[in-house]
Structure 1
Amino acid sequence: MSESTPYLLVLYYSRSGQTAEMANHIGRGVARVAGIEAKIRTVPPVSPDTEVSLPAVPESGAPYASKDDLANSVGLALGSPTRFGNMAAPLKHFLDGTGDLWINGKLTGKPAGAFTSTGSLHGGQETTLMTMMMPLLHHGMVLCGLPYSENALNETTTGGTPYGPSHWAGTGEQKTLSEHEKALCQAFGERLARLALKLAN
């Protein structure tokens, strides 16, 4: 990644790997657009104690995000598994620490959207996506979803919503992303990237 090339931050939390896979497909969508790159980052689990219980760098997967990663991005794709119709605590914990970015308007006018994965077919995907958008609105970001001009949104029998990509992981053996879900993640990344470049200019 070039230091001078603008980037879209794909920020997520994942327990079983499905949300991480979605993030990678969103990154592929961003890669379709010239002049912008994807920076894929995650957040650590929330510790129940007050001591540092995890290494500063994850053993595998994407690096942990910093506030600078967020502040210097030209746009944001925010991903989380559903937790009772809301985002997972580790992602909320990270966002709760961005008050200084809010005070200084660091994210104002930048495009953002959300993506999610859940075990049950009607397990709160849409409420998770919409509640994830609330802090983005407070930051003054411009929300981006998926239009029905994306054929996969009309054809999917798994995940996919106009509020953002979603994945139905199942409650038993974890389902892999369907071709429609992959297509929607990539379309979402491309759409956000194009919007980010237009708003940055």
Structure 2
Amino acid sequence: MTLEITTIQDLVIINPTVFHDERGYFFEAYNQAKFHENGINYQFIQDNQSFSTRGVIRGLHLQINPYAQAKLVRVLEGEILDVAVDLRKNSETYGQHFSVVLSATNKKQLMVPHGFAHGFSVLSETASVLYKVDQLYNKDSERGIRYDDPTLAIDWQLDSKEIIVSEKDLILPSFNDIDWEF
């Protein structure tokens, strides 16, 4: 396993060591001891999985304290553009976002710590996404930011005609209207 440091502090891309042979491949998707050796010290308690078709954008979602969630995101099938927005007011990168293509082929994972909004767009015909969280879902702490917020100006790598967003996500506030912080 190797770590790629991103332009936003504490946001890390994880590249597993993949072993190939005539049968296929094998890799450790998660090894708590190795994560801890690399300073990733979350206690994951739940796995969530989604299936989506091309053009779907899920997000930008988060939970506020005390139910903030860290997420370890990976793709089982297909390809997504995974996006994290830094919402930590004391961070030098507050309000900045980072994106990376995660796919079943590249096997990369994104470690999204507390204090970030998270979302993804589906770039392939379909995608199955699995993510670990370190906190259970709490409806009262659920928050989000509109995917098309002009301040964040995220390029979801999709044509506007193919974007599919839930009604719930369409009514989320803009970045400049959020009234919560980490």
TM-score by length of 1: 0.31
Q: Which has the higher contact order (CA 8 A, sep 6+)?
A: 2
TM-score by length of 2: 0.33
Which structure shows the bigger proportion of residues in strand conformation?
2
Which structure shows the bigger proportion of residues in helix conformation?
1
